[in-house]
Structure 1
Amino acid sequence: MTKKIETRIDRRFAALKKEGRAGLVTFITAGDPDLETSKAILAGLPKAGADVIELGMPFSDPMADGPAIQASSLRALKAGQKMRDTLEMVRDFRKTDADTPIVLMGYYNPIYVYPNDAFLDEAAEAGVDGLIVVDLPPEADDELCLPAIERGLNFIRLATPTTDDKRLTKVLKNTSGFLYYVSITGITGASSANPDDVQLQVARLKKATTLPVAVGFGVRTPEQAREMAKGADGVVVGSALVRAIETSLTEDGRATGNTVGSVLSLVEGLGAALRAS
């Protein structure tokens, strides 16, 4: 039987609820475009306005991701990013920030080969708060989900427009931290969903769970973030941030003096929109 341990994610969403606003959940890929630049972006995200940070674990075959995030993963791998580097990024981050939740997001293969127990132990020790592993279904909870919860890590699941009530029950069984609502069908970075449809879906999800619901996929601008926040507890922005990295690079993919600032400037605009809504 798993035990419930309060995490930074729990505390952050409780604080956001008291503030009466949705939180900004930002995604970047660890090691993109290189380790030092990625560490600088990560360190700057909370001050820029990120309430929760998703840190992508680079993988060579990110099948659920669109071209922008796929490219970011490949840039990171080309720069030599390893899982141990990603965990070390979290350790470094925790030296100056003990409060901002960090969720590692990605695919099972890099965890499996680490392997599982070593990864979970090191993730918990480094200061990781939760995991999103998009290719591990609820039927495989014994594999990683339940051992993660035992170590005090939230295991966050995704729900989509095609997740019916029967499936939702299975999805929610061992989910903790928050529920990530993928507002469109398809890959990351696609067109944004209709905000009215999202509000209806979020209301349906909230009838089934007391967990916070964060909405993502296709959110690129402060205006879209403000619209998606209606009725939701969080708004996830990922592809827009990795595109900001990509467009700041040199022709051969190297960071420039604008790389960190371009990402943090975008986050500032997104965060300001949610705080004003």
Structure 2
Amino acid sequence: MHPGAFLVTLREALEASVIIAVILAYLKRTGRGSQAKDVWLGTFFSIFASIVLGAIVVWFYGGIEEKELFEGVASYIAVVVLTSMIYWMVTKGRNIKSEIEKKVSKAISRWALIGFAFIVVFREGFETVLFVTPFMTQDLAGTVFGVVLGLINAMAIAFISYVVGLKINLRKFFYYSSILLIFVAAGLAGYGTHEFIEWAEEEGVDLGFFQKEAYNLGITEDNVWHHKGLLGSILAVLFGYSTKMEWGRVFVQFGYLIVALYLILRAYRKEI
């Protein structure tokens, strides 16, 4: 299982579950419970569209020659969107319930409600595909397994929270998962930088100081602590661990980590 894919999918799927639960609760409270089937229909279409999008990305990756460039670009895009998603949830997400209910109140017709459910859930699906794309290029089977496991756990949490009635502090969940995702995003930023450096070297571009090795722990690939080994690969995904790094990667990865952690902790400081 790819832990990064699991964490991202768990977070995104749980967010989608929260949104769907808010929509269904509002429809029931306002006497529109019969329209619940339209919400589920829109959700089904969005899940199907997300799967198709993921398959297209895998197919596209398999057909390109400059894989390092693709992986670098995909990693950077994922970092930008992942960071904006986390920061939006931290700063604006507290009003998500009222915003959703306001929009559902305007979606009177069947197709309007199906379309709204499709859009809000597909947004999470689109983000999930975008985030796990760099993981898929490294370990397709592990990423797929992580995505499936993340979905199962998200549905279990949603069931316990909204059907059984057990109260779960979602604010704290999003807080701690946001911190973990910042580490994942930092690792993606570092990985993307490494791929860009490799691509530049293949193209004969001299990056000077930035492509020089910053450190090398001397750990061989057959060691469990290597970043491709049994234990090292988990640390690599969750915390951006690597047995060796170029200076360019060090600056980007740890620079992002320091700034992003500061912004997230400051935004949550008065909330938790």
Which protein is bigger by CA-based radius of gyration? 2
User: Which protein has the bigger helix share?
Assistant: 2
User: Which protein has the bigger strand share?
Assistant: 1
Higher relative contact order (CA 8 A, sep 6+): 2
TM-score normalized by the length of structure 1: 0.21
TM-score normalized by the length of structure 2: 0.22
